[in-house]
Amino acid sequence: MSLIRVDKDARGVATLTLTREDKHNALSAQMMTELEEAARDLARDRSVRVVVLAAEGRTFCAGGDLAWMRAQFDMDAGTRRVESRRIATVLGALYDLPQPLIGRVQGNALGGGVGLVSVCDVAIGVAGAKLGFTETRLGLIPANIGPYVLARMGATRAAEVFMSARVFDADEAVRLNLLSRTVDPEGLDAAIEAEVLPYLSCAPGAVAEAKALMRDLAGRVVPEQVDMAIDALARRWQSDEAREGVGAFFDKRAPSWQ
């Protein structure tokens, strides 16, 4: 069973939806593979003018699937690095979309979920949603999402929440430059449509080139940064803190440092 869905309307608006509602849309290996493939397909589809990133259920994305993460303890270093690269690759594929990417954040976004928000050109969230980089509670670090988070937030804003695992609300996410704005839940679809409509009166090629120029002028996320982040996370996976933190989560107990 697929864990995502792609819908396209006659106007050229594609909606890429996470459908793992029962697991809070946590990013499993299968979901990440499907997301990457979908993003690559959308990038090549000249009929698609705008992409909306959405999710089913109450949670936008709870981050990396912890069962998948825990399995990495039994992998050798090389295999672990390959698995670790999955999230970075998915984010890169979404970040590289030539079409505008609009995030429909209908619920909480944690860890890798904030990474998904970060690669959107515009992200609108519902009032009351909670966001946070919760990795350090588990003895891990928000590494693979880091290049995209820093590109979105800037180092000064990121420093307020990147290391502390503090969960913050949607209004603060606007101040931190993660969300563009917040709306009441009943107004979310209208707000997304208001973001989509202007692009439908623009030349698609010009929009794509304007987006590419904006990335170039602002400073793109480059492969060297992604590799640095992957290496940093691979080292962290080998630490006693990572084993203790992830183990404590599954054992439903406080880790030793708490």
Q: Does 237 have pLDDT greater than 90?
A: no
Task: Check residue 76 and give its pLDDT.
Answer: 75
Give me the mean pLDDT over the 229-243 stretch: 90
* pLDDT-derived band at 24, boundaries 50, 70, 90: very high
> CB of 130 within 8 A of CB of 81?
no
Average pLDDT on 25-36 reads 95
Q: How confident is the model at residue 235 (pLDDT cuts 50, 70, 90)?
A: confident
Distance set, CA 247 to CA 67, 137, 143, 163 (Å): 11, 12, 20, 20
Which band of pLDDT confidence, cut at 50, 70 and 90, is reported for residue 79? confident
pLDDT of residue 179: 98
pLDDT band for position 216 (cuts 50, 70, 90):
very high
Q: What is the dihedral of CA 47, 3, 149, 44, to 10 degrees?
A: -20
Give the 3-state secondary structure of 162-217: CCCCCCEEHHHHHHCCCCCEEECHHHHHHHHHHHHHHHHHCCHHHHHHHHHHHHHH
Which pLDDT score, from 0 to 100, does residue 81 have?
A: 78
Fill in the DSSP letter of residue 225: H
β-partners of residue 55 are: 18
pLDDT in tens, 156-176: 999 999 999 999 999 999 999
In the numeric block, the tokens 């793109």 are attached to 220
Alpha helix stretches (DSSP H) within 13-76: 29-44, 66-71
Question: Considering the chain, what percentage of its residues have pLDDT values greater than 90?
Answer: 84
Strand pairing category for 13-18 and 50-55: parallel
Rounded mean pLDDT, 34-41: 97
* Mean pLDDT lowest among 31-35, 94-98, 194-198, 228-232: 228-232
Region class of 56: left (phi > 0), else alpha (psi between -120 and 50), else beta: beta
Instruction: Answer whether 63's CB lies under 8 Å from 112's CB.
Output: yes
Residue type, 152: R
- CA–CA separation, 39 vs 151, rounded Å? 20
What's the pLDDT at 149?
Answer: 97
Domains of the chain, CATH where assigned: 4-186+196-201 (3.90.226.10)
Residue 119 has pLDDT above 90, yes or no: yes
pLDDT at 113 over 90: yes
- Residue 99 to residues 50, 52, 92: CA-CA distances in angstroms? 5, 10, 14
pLDDT over 70, % of the chain: 100
Q: Mean per-residue pLDDT for 80-106? A: 92
Lowest-pLDDT range of 58-67, 71-80, 87-96, 100-109: 71-80
**DSSP conformational letter for 161:** T
With beta carbons less than 8 A apart as the criterion, state whether 170 and 182 touch: yes
Return the bridge partners of 251, or none. Answer: none
Query: Quick check: 108 pLDDT over 80?
Result: yes
Instruction: Give one DSSP letter per residue of 38-51, joined into a string.
Output: HHHHHHH-TT--EE
Q: β-strands 50-55, 101-105: how paired?
A: parallel
The residue type at 177: N
- Residue 108 β-bridge partners: 59
> pLDDT band at residue 187, thresholds of 50, 70 and 90?
very high
Across the chain, mean pLDDT equals: 94
Mean pLDDT of 144-164: 96
* Residue 176 to residue 107: CA distance in whole angstroms: 17
Which comes out higher in pLDDT, residue 164 or 258?
A: 164
